[in-house]
Amino acid sequence: MEPRVSAVCVVHTLLPEPSTPSGLTSIDKRPVAGPVQVGPLGVAGDSQQDTPHHGGTEFAVYCYAEEDAAAWAAELGRAVPPGLFGENLRTSGLDVSGLAIGTRLAVGDTGLVLEVTAPRNPCATFARRMGEPHWVRRFTERRAPGAYARVVVPGPVAAGDAITVVTVPGHGVSVAALMAPALPGAAAALLAAEAAGAVSLGERMRRGAQHEARRG
């Protein structure tokens, strides 16, 4: 099946969240009709409240695979509709968590290009959103985190747009491998790849990789 965007999601309602500076969270995202413009800071109409950990140019767009959502739905015995995990793009036909850090994706035919930057690590806000026992641990152990991306070339996106893998760096370190706690050797390999010029990491991903490498 050709990889495609199955839904584009932006914040629907700001919910109370004690852990953020504003006391609110933008995790409640829901599908919107497209096309929707995507710029350096993300999808038009979206927002982030916990900006030290979400958003910015490095974490502009969060993508999650329909196939992984379906696996969660089967385990949880409940629907996992687009946006429930706080994702901006729900995809189909693409192993998002298996993509290498630095992979570039062309979305649609009007110029939008994204670059995979980091995994999503679960937090207390996500756990409260889901209301499932031991959610942070379970989500971590599944290692299907979905991927954050930066916007290399801005452009519109809509449900149904094709996704094309444009470039894949040769380091072989996947999004899932970098999910904390990183798999043995993954963080060191990614840092070595950046030192060799094979990938350009954002500051937050670099700090995270350095932390994971020190942990061994």
- Is 190 contained in some domain? no
- Is 78 contained in some domain? yes
The pLDDT score that the predictor gives to residue 53 is 67
**Cα–Cα distance measured from residue 200 to residue 4, given in angstroms and rounded to the nearest whole number:** 26
Confidence of residue 147 (pLDDT cuts 50, 70, 90): very high
- Is 188 contained in some domain? no
The CATH number for 165's domain is 2.40.33.20
Statement: residue 88 has pLDDT above 90: yes
Tens-digit pLDDT profile for residues 52-86: 667 799 999 999 999 999 999 999 999 999 999 99
- Is 101 contained in some domain? yes
Instruction: Compute the mean pLDDT over every residue in the chain, rounded to the nearest whole number.
Output: 95
- Is 135 contained in some domain? yes
Three-class secondary structure of residue 40 per DSSP = coil
The pLDDT score that the predictor gives to residue 170 is 94
Nearest to 70 by CA among 61, 62, 79: 79
Tens-digit pLDDT profile for residues 104-113: 999 999 999 9
- Residues 167, 122, 127, 45, CA torsion sign: negative
Q: How many domains does the chain fold into?
A: 1
In 21-121, beta strands by DSSP E:
24-25, 29-31, 36-39, 42-43, 61-65, 89-92, 104-107, 112-119
Both tokens assigned to 199: 């990938």
The pLDDT score that the predictor gives to residue 21 is 79
- Neighbour tally for 67: CB within 10 Å: 16
Tens-digit pLDDT profile for residues 162-211: 999 999 999 999 999 999 999 999 999 999 999 999 999 999 999 999 99
The pLDDT score that the predictor gives to residue 20 is 79
The pLDDT score that the predictor gives to residue 54 is 72
The pLDDT score that the predictor gives to residue 154 is 98
Q: What is the pTM of this model?
A: 0.95
**Cα–Cα distance measured from residue 176 to residue 149, given in angstroms and rounded to the nearest whole number:** 14
Range of the domain at 19: 4-176
Confidence of residue 1 (pLDDT cuts 50, 70, 90): confident
**Cα–Cα distance measured from residue 113 to residue 189, given in angstroms and rounded to the nearest whole number:** 25
